[in-house]
Chains A and B, each alone.
Chain A
Amino acid sequence: MPRALIIGIGNPLRGDDGFGWHVIEQLRDRALGDSADLLACHQLTPEVAVQVAHSERVIFIDAARGEPAGEVRVERVDGVNRLEAALSHRLDPPALIRYAKALFGRAPEAVLVSVKGAAYEFSENLSEAAMSAVPEVLRVVDVLLADGRPRQTAEMEGTCLAV
């Protein structure tokens, strides 16, 4: 069982929406060996639950709306019940984790690393703000792979984690 599954989500033809794909490409060049499986996808579909359930840890990398552009957010993913996700073949990270648990009886620890994008028009390139966040995201991934235990920080709101 690989220790980690890293999933980049988005559309690589829609500018910063392809952030996750971009990071996966960078990670492919690093030859992570058996420590992690890499997956780039447009959407999270139910069959991805097979890989999720057979991993010890899942790291989702995705673009997010909001400001400031380029801000990196790390949060724990819980298997929250959302009806809208259940009505389709597209799942969001919490629904995918919940589906993996429903099918296989186990849900790995999961973290979402998101970057606030600046541009989502037709483009295969990242905006300057998103591009500048890539090294930080790679560092976060390195820490998660090495340590695997993001820790909650009291001074950050919500589910934001420090790594």
Chain B
Amino acid sequence: MGRQILIDPVTRLEGHAKITLHLDDEGAVEAAHFHVTQLRGFEKFCEGRRFFEMPYLMSRICGICPVSHLIASAKTCDAILAVSIPETAANLRRVMNLAQIIQSHALSFFYLSSPDLLLGMEADPGERNLFGVAAAHPALAHDGVGLRQFGQQIIESLGGRRIHPGWVVPGGVAEPLTAERRDRILAGIPEALSRVQRTLDWFKRTIESFREEIRTFANFPSMFLGLVGPNGELETYDGKLRLRGETGNLIHDQLDPQRYAEFIGEVSEPWTYMKFPYYKPAGSEHGFYRVGPLARLNIVSRCGTTRADQELAEFREMGRGAVLSSFHYHYARLIEILHGIERIEELLADPKILSKDVRAVAEPNRREGIGVAEAPRGTLIHHYKIDDEGLITWANLIIATGHNNMAMNRGILQAARHYVSGDQISEGMLNRVEAVIRTFDPCLSCSTHAVGQMPMLVQVVARDGTLVRELRRN
């Protein structure tokens, strides 16, 4: 009879999950599931709320990427108002979104993943953590806290607080930027650039030592999805969708995000609260794609900033066509931090950034709106419908982590087949399986939209489908 290995909880993730590995009679892994065991239900409980409350409500989905939800939600409300927001407001939102990406990527790379990268997957868990990094590589630890602080301080400077800022509103932003706050942000740019460049240089020197992880960490052909600017440049606030295949072939370009429902479908599985989005024309079996930093660097024609474009050229030398190993999400995050810092500097150097014209005011002019932006973990879609009173009657959210659900499950299976053998299971093996998930930096709070944990059913099923054991938790 087949056996099961349970990794529960999975550590160093945003949220709660467990992984089950199903072994065959010989102890080889035959199936793997990434279970997300929390449910939040934001789409349901926002029904009946006033639409203009949505940005602030939706930002509460997550404490790591509240800005992403704030922005996607505000863009959805812009669509309901049918307004074109002032250019300065769009650029200020853009700065905040880039700061969000910088701080979130810094958290993922330095706080959650660098212990594995610096200290080794086989290292004692008692040492393989933040403190171990600080002891063994203090300079890198300093750069990590410095970059996260840089991003957080920009968000605080613009929005008044680091977590759940309410400054982004339907129609634009609540207040213009002052010269003093702009200058404070600009003053931090040189040091932030130095920090990320140092880390990139170290990572590139080290990457060869991860050859086996690169080969086995969710390394397979897939499509890649994300927003791009009008000339194919990296764009995280606005733009159109682009989908590329594994060889770098263009499948769709400049696709209006308002049409997302025509080409993205979702399926559910009974063993997880996280849905599985897929590319409709290819069907749910073959239509899986990846989003996030790796996908963005695979789809863009260029980053659009000097230093990030130099790094992108080097990054692309690793793949014929697209870079396929999900291990390189780490690398892509560092390049995106670099791009974000450069882009923020460009945006703030424009004197128009201090314009007082930062908000368009209107009543609802449409009954439906869609807002799309790039969150740190990938493409984020908000879609609302309202009634004549402006109350939400329906909402749909497709979250960055959800897009990657199929890829994460396939990635766990690939790594488990390589590293796990039923007779010889070590901490390092299981950590590699977890580390595959960490490359995607999933945000489970976002993707399950949990007010606490739902009652849960745990089943152990034999290969012939016989229910061996059932546990029910209320």
Q: Which of A43, A49, A102 contacts B63 (CB 8 A)?
A: A43
Q: Which of A42, A47, A86 contacts B149 (CB 8 A)?
A: A47
User: Which residues of chain A (43-95) have a CB below 8 Å from chain B?
Assistant: 43, 45-47, 49-50, 81, 83, 86-89
Encode contact with A along B129-160: 1 for CB under 8 Å, 0 otherwise. 11110110010011011101100100000000
A156 to B133, CA, bound (A): 38
Q: Tell me, rounded to whole Å, the shortest Cβ–Cβ distance linking A101 to chain B.
A: 9
Q: Of A47, A49, A86, A99, which is within 8 A of B152 by CB? A: A47
For B152, the closest partner residue in chain A by CB is A47
Contacts of B144 in A (CB 8 A): 46
| Residue A140 CB within 8 A of the other chain | no
Give the contacting residue for A42; candidates B63, B125, B129, B152; CB below 8 A.
Answer: B63
Give CA–CA (A50, B132) in the complex, Å. Answer: 18
Size of chain B's interface in residues, with CB distance under 8 A? 26
B149 touches A103 (CB 8 A): no
- Flag if B163 contacts A47 (CB, 8 Å): no
Q: How far is the CA of A89 from the CA of B105 in the complex (A)?
A: 13
Partner of A83, one of B63, B125, B145, B146: B125
Q: Are A99 and B131 in contact, CB atoms less than 8 angstroms apart? A: yes
Give the shortest distance, in Å, between A89 (CB) and chain B (any CB).
4
Smallest Cβ distance from B171 to chain A, in angstroms?
25
Contact across chains for A89 and B107 when beta carbons are under 8 A apart: yes
* B142 to A: closest C-beta gap in Å: 6
Whether B63 lies near A89 (C-beta < 8 A) is: no
Give the chain A neighbours of B12 by CB distance below 8 A: 87-89
Contact, CB under 8 Å: B145 / A46: yes
| Contact A86 B129, CB 8 Å, known A103-B134, A103-B141 | yes
B162 CB within 8 Å of chain A = yes
Whole-angstrom distance between the Cβ of B66 and the nearest chain A Cβ:
10
- Chain B residues whose CB sits within 8 angstroms of the CB of A83 once the complex forms: 125-126, 129
- Residues of chain A within 8 A (CB-CB) of B131 are 81, 86, 98-99, 102
Are B130 and A47 neighbours in the complex by a CB distance under 8 Å?
no
Check B134 against A102 for contact (C-beta < 8 Å): yes
Flag whether A41 is at the interface (Cβ < 8 A): yes
Task: List residues of chain B with CB within 8 A of the CB of A81.
Answer: 131
B107 closest partner in A (C-beta)? A89
Q: Which residues of B contact A89 (CB under 8 A)?
A: 12, 107, 111-112, 130
- Do the beta carbons of B112 and A103 come within 8 Å of each other? no
Q: 8 Å CB contacts to A: which residues of B5-36?
A: 11-12
Cβ of A99: which chain B residues have Cβ within 8 Å of it?
Answer: 130-131, 134
The residues of B that contact A45 with a CB separation of less than 8 Å are 107, 148
Interface residues on A, range: 10 to 19
User: In the bound complex, how far is the Cα of B152 from the Cα of A20, in angstroms?
Assistant: 20
Nearest CB on A from B108, distance (A) = 9
Please measure, in the bound complex, the distance between the C-alpha atom of A47 and the C-alpha atom of B155, giving whole angstroms: 14
Min CB–CB distance B280 → chain A (angstroms): 36
Residue numbers in B under 8 Å from A87 (CB-CB): 11-12, 125, 129
A103 close to B145 (CB less than 8 A): yes
Residues of chain A within 8 A (CB-CB) of B63 are 42-43
For chain A, residues 5 to 52, give those with C-beta under 8 angstroms from any C-beta of chain B.
Answer: 13, 41-43, 45-47, 49-50
- Smallest distance from the beta carbon of B333 to chain A beta carbons, Å? 15
Residues of A within 8 A of B162 (CB): 41
Chain B 417-456 interface mask (CB, 8 Å, partner A; 1/0)? 0000000000000000000000000000000000000000
- B-side contacts of A102, CB under 8 Å: 131, 134-135, 138, 141
A99 to B145, CA, bound (A): 11
Q: Mark B101-132, 1 if CB is under 8 A from A, else 0.
A: 00000010001100000000000011001111
User: Given contacts A88-B11, A99-B131, A103-B138, are A41 and B163 in contact (CB under 8 A)?
Assistant: yes
Q: Considering the chains assembled together, what is the distance between the CA atoms of A49 and B152 in angstroms?
A: 14
For A13, list chain B residues within 8 Å (CB). 60
Bound state CA distance, A43 and B163, in angstroms?
10
CB nearest neighbor in A for B9: A87
CB distance from A91 to the nearest CB of B (A): 8
Q: How far is the CA of A112 from the CA of B205 in the complex (A)?
A: 43
Q: How far is the CB of A120 from chain B (nearest CB, A)?
A: 12
Chain A residues in 8 Å Cβ range of B126: 83
> Which A residue's beta carbon lies closest to that of B129?
A86
Known: A87-B11, A99-B130, A102-B135. A46 touches B125 (CB 8 A): no
Nearest CB of B to A159, in Å: 22
Q: Nearest-CB distance from B17 to chain A (Å)?
A: 14
B138 surroundings in chain A (CB, below 8 A): 102-103
Q: Give chain B nearest CB distance to A24 CB in angstroms.
A: 12
Cβ contacts A to B, 14 pairs, < 8 Å: A43-B63, A46-B144, A47-B145, A47-B146, A50-B149, A83-B125, A87-B12, A87-B125, A87-B129, A89-B112, A99-B131, A102-B135, A102-B138, A103-B134
A residues sitting closer than 8 Å to B (CB atoms) are: 13, 41-43, 45-47, 49-50, 81, 83, 86-89, 98-99, 102-103
Other than the given A86-B130, A103-B142, 14 more pairs (CB < 8 A) read: A13-B60, A41-B162, A46-B144, A50-B145, A86-B129, A87-B12, A89-B12, A89-B111, A89-B130, A99-B130, A102-B138, A103-B134, A103-B138, A103-B145
Q: Which 8 A-B pairs have the closest CB atoms?
A: A86-B129, A102-B134, A47-B149, A47-B145, A89-B111, A47-B148, A87-B11, A103-B134
